[in-house]
Amino acid sequence: GQQVMQIPQYQHVQEGEDFTTYCNSSTTLSNIQWYKQRPGGHPVFLIQLVKSGEVKKQKRLTFQFGEAKKNSSLHITATQTTDVGTYFCAGLGGGTSYGKLTFGQGTILTVHP
């Protein structure tokens, strides 16, 4: 079945440093979504990428979807303590798997002031 691998599992940075998390799918995805979960909270939607090679920006966050629609990345420029949390990617399958959303394992980001 569809698998989505996310790396790294943990990332510790000093405030002001950049951060990147990567997702790789075993199959071609219809789209990919990114979520952020604060400690003790629930996942909150950040963005969705649909097109091959798509790049979207939200202030200091940059999201990319690979040309083959099998990988994606989230890059945060100049991290702040408010960026702390777990970042998940989630891939939507196609064909007979349409409707099934597979999450990566998540990257836990710690930002040291």
Residues at the interface with another protein (CB under 8 A): 1, 6, 9, 30-31, 33, 35, 42-45, 48, 50, 88, 90, 92, 98-106
Residues 6+ apart with CB under 8 A from 53: 65, 66, 67
Q: Considering the complex, state which of residue 37 and residue 77 has its C-beta at the smaller distance from another protein.
A: 37
Which burial class, exposed, middle or buried, applies to 39 when counting CB atoms under 10 A from its CB (0-12, 13-18, 19+)?
exposed
From the CB of 39, what's the least distance to another protein, in Å?
A: 12
Identity of the residue, 39 or 113, whose beta carbon is nearer to another protein in the bound complex? 39
Q: Minimum distance between the CB of residue 50 and another protein, rounded to whole angstroms?
A: 8
Least Å distance, CB 78 to another protein, is 26
* 63/61 Cα distance (integer angstroms): 7
